[in-house]
Amino acid sequence: MSLFDKFAAQRTLRASLAEGGGVAPIATPMDTIHSATSATIGGRRLVLAGTNNYLGLTFDAECRAAAIAAIEASGTGTTGSRMASGNYAGHRALERALADAFGWASGIVFSTGYQANLGALSGLAGNDEFLLVDADSHASIHDGCRLSNATTIRFRHNDPEDLDRRLGRLGADAKRTLVVVESLYSTRGDRAPLREIVEVKKRHGAWLLVDEAHSFGVFGPHGLGLCEELGLLDEVDFIVGTFSKSLGGVGGFCLSRHADLELLRMVSRPYIFTASSAPPAIAATHAALRRVLEGQDLRERLWKHAHRLHDEAIRLGYRLGAPTPGPVVALLFESREAGLALWQGLFDAGVYTNLMIPPATPAGLSIVRISLSAAHGDDDLSRIIAALAAHADLGSPPARLRA
């Protein structure tokens, strides 16, 4: 017997993905990063169309300068948690800037976006309380639910009616229930029906947390996310987000219009027992936040790319994960072989994308995910579209998806 025996399925999958040699389609090694949209992989220079660098800020001059200055002033790391020696002025300033951007009472910065969900959900919902969670939520949300002592109930993806029924069954306990959704789901690129979800939440007196990880920086007049764009900030109780998408760094946050969020610092284990973010990461994120708040030019460029690629993918006959344009364009396949064939075809054409396969995907689908950036040029988009056109019929008929 071995502790590794239970990984037989993973061993088989890993071997099948490695067939034929070449560059691995999962956890692809990046040899050299040249810019926000270009890298050398396997000895070849490719267009990066598989990152979450929506505004292209990883190479922004002000962000890099802020990180370098922070290293010179405060060193490379904190070597302590926020509850010990890692509570620097930069952390507190970034929390205040995030909360002020929303006009909200409180904000807490976590070391990663994953920990932001773990820390918020496990701390906010406890014994004799309930978490009502969209079934397609990110793994960090489901893991936060597991860490919590609350009872977790899943409702059907983007289905306010199912949410309404489940809250109704809870009766008076609905007032001790935290509803958890994402605003933009990164796997398919589809948006939550937030207006309808807010109405259901209000009708039952529940609480609402929205994960804006993939929408922060992209939606809204100030880039604060889909809740801002829809005018719902006064109706939402908590917003969780990450620094590793539009902000181009690493870390996460939870914000609330309720000042009592500050009490979460005393009970959130992922906050209490994790070393705080390194000074350069915090400084670069603070600089990126300023760029997001004034970055309508970046958002306009990103949305121009999103509309163009969405329309071209439909014209080429691909089945998309979302009916409307967005920064994530997900191409859905019914078989792993078809998804892998397209991923490899795009790679060979000089375009790096993400391959997502079961069990990490909904409904057993395989997905080739393209993520757009404001840093992409029109020529980059032309290259991506040309590669899609050249490989739309690659492989067997399942590679060409049905509408």
What pLDDT, on a 0 to 100 scale, did the predictor assign at position 295? 81
> Residue 187 above 60 pLDDT?
yes
* 281 or 23, which is more confident: 281
Q: pLDDT by residue (tens digit) across 103-148?
A: 999 999 999 999 999 999 999 999 999 999 999 999 999 999 999 9
Q: What is the pLDDT of residue 401?
A: 38
Neighbours of 61 (CB within 10 A): 8
pLDDT score for 358:
86
Other residues' Cβ atoms within 10 Å of the Cβ of residue 106? 21
- Residue 32 pLDDT class (50, 70, 90 cuts): very high
What pLDDT is recorded for position 393? 78
Give the architecture-level CATH label for domain 59-293.
Answer: 3-Layer(aba) Sandwich (3.40)
pLDDT at 26: 85
Question: Among 278, 308, 262, 296, which residue's Cα sits nearest to residue 76?
Answer: 278
Examine the pLDDT at 400 and tell me if it is beyond 60.
no
What value does the mean pLDDT take over residues 349-372? 91
Segment 18-31 shows an average pLDDT of: 84
Asked if 82 and 91 count as a contact pair (C-beta separation under 8 A), the reply is: yes
- Separation of alpha carbons 241 and 99, rounded Å: 12
Backbone angles phi, psi at 276, to 5 degrees: -75, 160
Beta bridge partners of 151: 130
For residues 123 and 262, the answer to whether their CB atoms sit within 8 Å is: no
By the 8 A CB rule, do 144 and 91 touch?
A: no
Q: Is the pLDDT of residue 156 over 50?
A: yes
pLDDT at 402 (0 to 100): 37
Which pair of structure tokens corresponds to residue 189?
């690129």
User: Mean pLDDT score of the chain, rounded to an integer?
Assistant: 94
Flag whether pLDDT at 396 surpasses 60: no
Residue of 336, 329, 246 whose CA lies nearest to 293: 246
pLDDT mean over 307-325: 95
Q: Where are the domains of the chain?
A: 8-48+296-399, 59-293
Residues 374-382: what's their mean pLDDT? 98
Across 381-398, average pLDDT: 78
Q: Does residue 324 come out as left (phi exceeding 0), alpha (psi in the -120 to 50 range) or beta?
A: beta
pTM of the model as a whole: 0.94
267-278 tens-digit pLDDT: 999 999 999 999
Give me the mean pLDDT over the 78-97 stretch: 97
What is residue 58's three-state secondary structure?
helix
CA–CA separation, 276 and 108 (whole Å): 12
The CA-to-CA distance between both ends of the chain, in Å, stands at 47
Q: How confident is the model at residue 53 (pLDDT cuts 50, 70, 90)?
A: very high
* pLDDT tens sequence across 250-289: 999 999 999 999 999 999 999 999 999 999 999 999 999 9
Q: Which of 111, 50, 41 is nearest to 253 (CA)?
A: 111
Q: Tell me the pLDDT band of 20, cut-offs 50, 70 and 90.
A: low
With vertex at residue 321, the alpha carbon angle to CA 40 and CA 386, rounded to the nearest 5 degrees, is: 45
For residue 397, is pLDDT > 60? no
Q: How far apart are CA 78 and CA 361, in angstroms?
A: 36
| Structure-token match 């029924």, residue found | 165
Q: What is the mean pLDDT of residues 230-237?
A: 98
Please report which confidence band the pLDDT of residue 21 belongs to, taking 50, 70 and 90 as the band edges.
confident
Q: Does domain 8-48+296-399 have CATH number 3.40.1160.10?
A: no
